[in-house]
Amino acid sequence: MNFSSDTSAPAHARVIEALLDANSGMEGSYGGDSATAAVRPLLEAVFETDDFDFWMTASGTASNALALSCFCPPTGAVLCHEQAHIERDERGAPEFFSGGGKLRLLKGFGARIERDALEAALGQINRDFVHETPADVLSLTNLTECGTAYSAAEVALYARLAHDKGLAVHMDGARLGNALISTHAKAADMTWKAGVDVLTFGLTKTGAIGCEIIILFGRARTKYADLKARAKRSGHMPAKMRFIAAQARAMLDGGLWLELAEHANAMAADLADVFTGAGFDLAYPVDGNEVFPLLPDDAAKRLRKAGALFYPWADNSSRFVCAWSTGPEDIAAVRAALAAG
């Protein structure tokens, strides 16, 4: 009954096996190894294109900040939701990596930027007015921090609006797999085909140890040398890169990442049913592996007493995150604890 975070889960067995496989003999450092070379074709298959460059890090925070810093100059700004991970949970990483860029916070239900807020923010940009900091990047999180998803069509619309005003589009895909499963979208449709210029493709929360892939699509590839220099300079160019690459291989090969995301989503759906069945409303729709019930104090207490771990969240809700390792027994335990009240 540990629903505190999908980062509290262990890694999938195949990830560990892949580390074992990779741990053999001498290999080139800093990405010059055979495991890293094997990642590219797997990404090509996932994204149905070879028009991209990529870099792998062990950190979602670093991957977001590195991606943003390639597009947001020190004198610029990033548009994001006011509950975005880059604003709330990264201790100023985007500001640090960009050299003092700003985040401009947009509103919207369930951590989804609402169209009016986006259009208003875009409308206010005046690149000729030197006193104000104009936005240079739009950052969308999918799955969002409230467990809701943007459809591929919505991403495409928002990306078009942003591009029309000269902004680049970043997607924080720390839980991309979960969003793809629930929106029935293919990875390509949700990303580059929708206009995403740079993606943080997260595999850590999905089931790896620490593996996030920054992908520059199409014309954004001009930033690749800058990305590598920034990765090196920030300590995100591991000497023994093969061990991050091995994780990527394990997760991408045969679609394990989507399998695990699908399972986590299914557990979340079951958990949501438990809460609604017990008469509790949900603060947000369940579009992925997170459930946000509006629990009365006594229900929350009962759950904690029974050993459930979860966090208080925005809008008086509680956050329950299902991981690849969450099992039906965890769901059943919640049901039992609630019923015992």
| Site residues (CB under 8 A) for its own copies, limited to 78-137 | 88-93, 95-96, 98-103, 127, 130-133
Measure the N-to-C terminal CA separation of the chain; round to a whole number of Å: 17
For its own copies, the closer of residues 10 and 341 by Cβ is: 10
DSSP conformational letter for 114: P
For its own copies, the closer of residues 95 and 154 by Cβ is: 95
Which residue is it, tokens 């004198």? 75
Supply the minimum distance, in Å, between the C-beta of residue 208 and its own copies: 8
Non-local CB neighbours of 225 within 8 Å, separated by 6+ positions: none
Stretch that binds its own copies, among 147-155, 162-170, 225-233, 311-319 (CB under 8 A): 225-233
Q: Which of residues 231-260 bind its own copies (CB under 8 A)?
A: 232-240, 243
Stretch that binds its own copies, among 15-23, 147-155, 181-189, 192-200 (CB under 8 A): 15-23
Inter-residue contact 197 to 220 (CB < 8 Å): yes
Inter-residue contact 281 to 293 (CB < 8 Å): yes
Give me 101's structure tokens. Answer: 């860029």
Cis bond before residue 143 (omega within 30° of 0): yes
Supply the minimum distance, in Å, between the C-beta of residue 305 and its own copies: 18
Q: Which of residues 267-296 bind its own copies (CB under 8 A)?
A: none
Which residue is it, tokens 């009954």? 1
Closest by CA position to 172, among listed 194, 199, 211, 145 = 199
For its own copies, the closer of residues 185 and 246 by Cβ is: 246
**Interface size with its own copies, residues (CB under 8 A):** 75
Buried/exposed 150-185: b ≥16 CB within 10 Å, e otherwise: bbbebbbbbbebbeebebbbbbbbbbbbbbbbbbeb
By CB under 8 A, tell whether 329 contacts its own copies: no
By CB under 8 A, tell whether 200 contacts its own copies: no
Q: Which of residues 135-194 bind its own copies (CB under 8 A)?
A: none
Q: Which of residues 41-80 bind its own copies (CB under 8 A)?
A: 57-63, 65-66, 73-75, 77
Stretch that binds its own copies, among 21-29, 111-119, 148-156, 292-300 (CB under 8 A): 21-29
For its own copies, the closer of residues 186 and 304 by Cβ is: 304
By CB under 8 A, tell whether 19 contacts its own copies: yes
Give me 231's structure tokens. Answer: 């990765």
Buried/exposed 207-229: b ≥16 CB within 10 Å, e otherwise: bbbbbbbbbbbeebbebbeebbe
CA distances from 170 to 9, 185, 229, 234, 256 (A): 27, 18, 19, 20, 24
Supply the minimum distance, in Å, between the C-beta of residue 138 and its own copies: 18
Q: Exactly one of 36, 139, 183, 204 binds its own copies (CB under 8 A); which one?
A: 204
Q: Exactly one of 122, 179, 181, 209 binds its own copies (CB under 8 A); which one?
A: 209
Could you give the CA distance from residue 154 to residue 147 in angstroms, rounded to a whole number? 16
For its own copies, the closer of residues 181 and 203 by Cβ is: 203
